[in-house]
């Protein structure tokens, strides 16, 4: 039931299947900064619920966001809809000892008012050895508090380190900064993940709005009679191993993002985008926001 999207005019292969068979729609929803402004709260909840209704069921949050206020808002938005949501949260690196990971997850579950997460990520690398974090993750799986674990902001060398430790290769996803203006990962990280059949979750897929005034992007949007953000999202999703999680705090933005799935870009568009946002020609250290 999870991977079901409303409407029929979808042209992309919109479903991603995790290694364990779980299926999600590749267009999800981010929640950074949600729940921090009381005047926006109801609209944000409505936006998330509308996204779930459309089938954008991956919801990404973190204990870090607003010190738990994003998780609380998500908990409210998904009440009565939990089975339709693929819920992701993240542990802060300074909580990511073995015991700390378990305690942080329990805090997230409380705020989210749920008994399990579908995916729990180490937000970025910190002081604790990966072995310790992984021990906590494996215990959370044994206790049924998370279905799978993964990482975020990890470059190839860090992924190699993870994969070299026991159970490290059970990692379910890597969530990284990826959009038209942040293409460094195309050089080595995306190919590495593809080889390992490791799904990539692209965060800030429209660069928090900063790329939307780009001339090439606007020209392509005009040509297809869509918006620059729809072109940018569709472009991120051209890779079938990638999930994009735009954050939209308004219903009209959710609606607009959803429609990116119907867009078909042609080779001329891709070439124009490559000229405006050149692909990497050498290794670039992974960027993060």
Interacting residues toward ligand NAP by CB under 6 A: 30-32, 60, 123, 152-153, 175, 203-209, 229, 245-250, 253, 256-257, 288-289
| Closer CB to ligand NAP, 121 or 143, in the complex | 121
Q: Is 65 a catalytic residue?
A: yes
Q: Torsion angle of alpha carbons 222, 228, 229, 230, nearest 10°?
A: 30
| Closer CB to ligand NAP, 90 or 145, in the complex | 90
Which one from 33, 50, 65, 128 is the annotated catalytic residue? 65
| Closer CB to ligand NAP, 203 or 281, in the complex | 203
d(CA 278, CA 35): 36
Distance of closest approach, residue 166 Cβ to ligand NAP, in angstroms: 25
DSSP 8: S
Sign of CA dihedral 151, 148, 80, 261: positive
Distance of closest approach, residue 202 Cβ to ligand NAP, in angstroms: 8
Place of tokens 């780009």: 214
* CA distances from residue 15 to 208, 222, 240, 244 in whole angstroms, order as listed: 24, 28, 8, 12
Q: Do 81 and 113 contact (CB within 8 A), yes or no?
A: no
Helix intervals (H) in 78-198? 98-112, 130-142, 156-163, 189-195
d(CA 79, CA 263): 32
Distance of closest approach, residue 224 Cβ to ligand NAP, in angstroms: 15
Distance of closest approach, residue 250 Cβ to ligand NAP, in angstroms: 4
Q: Which residue's CB atom is positioned nearest to ligand NAP?
A: 30
Q: Which of 242, 231, 240 is nearest to 265 (CA)?
A: 231
| Closer CB to ligand NAP, 196 or 250, in the complex | 250
* CA distances from residue 46 to 50, 53, 215 in whole angstroms, order as listed: 6, 10, 32
| Closer CB to ligand NAP, 1 or 72, in the complex | 72
Distance of closest approach, residue 244 Cβ to ligand NAP, in angstroms: 8
The residues annotated as belonging to the active site are 65
């Amino acid at each position: 039931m999870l991977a079901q999207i409303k409407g029929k005019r979808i042209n992309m292969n919109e479903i991603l299947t995790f290694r364990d068979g779980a299926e999600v729609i590749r267009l999800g929803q981010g929640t950074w900064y949600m729940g921090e402004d009381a005047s926006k709260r109801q609209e944000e909840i409505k936006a998330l619920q509308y996204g779930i209704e459309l089938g954008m069921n991956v919801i990404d949050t973190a204990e870090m966001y607003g010190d738990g206020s994003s998780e609380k808002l998500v908990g409210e938005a998904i009440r009565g809809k939990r089975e339709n949501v693929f819920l992701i949260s993240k542990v802060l690196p300074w909580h990511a000892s073995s015991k700390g990971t378990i305690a942080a997850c329990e805090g997230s579950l409380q705020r989210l008012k749920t008994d399990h997460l579908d995916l729990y990520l180490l937000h970025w690398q910190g002081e604790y050895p990966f072995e310790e974090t992984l021990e906590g993750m494996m215990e959370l799986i044994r206790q049924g508090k998370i279905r799978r674990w993964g990482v975020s902001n990890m470059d190839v060398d860090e992924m190699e380190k993870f994969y070299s430790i026991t159970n490290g290769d059970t990692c379910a996803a890597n969530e990284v900064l990826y959009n038209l203006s942040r293409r460094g990962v195309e050089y080595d990280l995306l190919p590495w993940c593809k080889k390992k059949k490791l799904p990539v979750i692209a965060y800030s897929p429209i660069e928090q709005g900063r790329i939307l005034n780009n001339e090439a992007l606007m020209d392509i949007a005009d040509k297809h009679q869509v918006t620059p953000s729809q072109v940018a999202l569709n472009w991120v999703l051209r890779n079938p191993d990638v999930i994009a999680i735009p954050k939209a705090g308004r219903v009209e933005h959710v609606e607009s993002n959803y429609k990116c799935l119907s867009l078909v870009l042609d080779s001329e568009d891709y070439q124009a985008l490559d000229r405006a946002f050149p692909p990497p020609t050498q290794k670039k250290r992974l960027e993060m926001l």
